[in-house]
Amino acid sequence: MDLFCDRLKKLSDKVCLGEPMRKHTTFRVGGPADYFVTPKTAGELAAVIRLCREQEKPYFILGNGSNLLVSDQGYRGVVIHVGRAFEEIRIRDNRVMAGAGASLAKVALGAKDAGLAGLEFASGIPGTIGGALVMNAGAYGGEMAQVVCGALVLTREGEEKHLDSSELQMGYRKSCILPKEYVVTEVELCLSFGDRDEICSKMEELAARRKEKQPLEYPSAGSTFKRPEGYFAGKLIMDAGLRGFSVGGACVSEKHCGFVVNKGGASSADILELCRRVRAQVREKFGVSLELEIRLLGEFESPFEG
């Protein structure tokens, strides 16, 4: 009998065992999570975290799975999905309060409808606003650090805490959230009043650029590597002659070399091996060590190093 599971089900009525993570990542790969929980309230979320810590069960906070590679063996722990119960969006003057599970696209549209500018860059990023805060997501010259003025988080002990923008310590693709093991429940944005037509036009322009330059037709996790200082990862990969390079079903996109895509039937091992070979080739040719922008979850036979 799984006593831990019994206790988990007393806290949440949405508990699945052996849930395939390929259903919950934009790469569409990943083995089963031992436990998959979808809390309905912040209190329920806090209680699940406290139980995991009390029982020394590893846990992982999942949003849209858009920046994540889960191993083929899955995850020997609890995946806590911050989903639809955390999608509420409230707008007051130039401030937007969005639940961590709200998609960036939905928040950007809400801001546009309210005549608020500044979030156009995020309208096509396929993730939740909670995940975007954690990694300080950005695109086309914008990033979350420019618009975030605060956040509600849960501490490791499951206590609620408000952090202002300086306390979030947002830098290039990072914040204090992961190092401090916080869980984001709500994000507060400070935007500027603007013209709805101009905001809409900017969003349409960026959407067209994404469609033209990014491999949106294939499962991926967006930009696979961080931007090395002084370089662009996609150009380094292209100049290394790796456009279209593949391992199994994983492939360097021919449309944008900064993306690794699943062209069909890829495994997590294929994707990580491809990343490893790309990194080695770029380092050999240019002396630049690429770092993964995507996060890894679970055990991999040959972990990506560096």
Q: Within the chain, how many helices (H) and strands (E) appear?
A: 7, 19
- 59-62 and 259-262 beta bridge pairing: unpaired
Per the annotation, the verdict on 192 as an active-site residue is no
- Among the options 50, 173, 276, 283, which is catalytic? 173
State the burial class of residue 101 (Cβ atoms within 10 Å of its Cβ: 0-12, 13-18, 19+): buried
Query: Residue 39: phi, psi to the nearest 5?
Result: -65, 155
- Among the options 44, 120, 273, 293, which is catalytic? 293
Distance CA 6, CA 10 (A): 6
- CB count within 10 Å of CB 108 equals 24
Per the annotation, the verdict on 90 as an active-site residue is no
Query: Residue 299: phi, psi to the nearest 5?
Result: -100, 135
State CA 30 to chain mean position distance: 15
What pairs with residue 86 in β-bridges?
none
Q: Hey, what are 8's tokens?
A: 């988990």
Q: Hey, what are 30's tokens?
A: 């990943």
Q: Hey, what are 166's tokens?
A: 């300086």
- Among the options 103, 223, 253, 268, which is catalytic? 223
Distances (CA, A) of 272 to 53, 68, 248: 30, 11, 11
Q: Are 260 and 250 in contact (CB under 8 A)?
A: yes
Per the annotation, the verdict on 299 as an active-site residue is no
Distance CA 295, CA 306 (A): 13
Q: Are 16 and 5 in contact (CB under 8 A)?
A: no
Q: Would you please indicate which residues are annotated as catalytic (active-site) residues?
A: 173, 223, 293
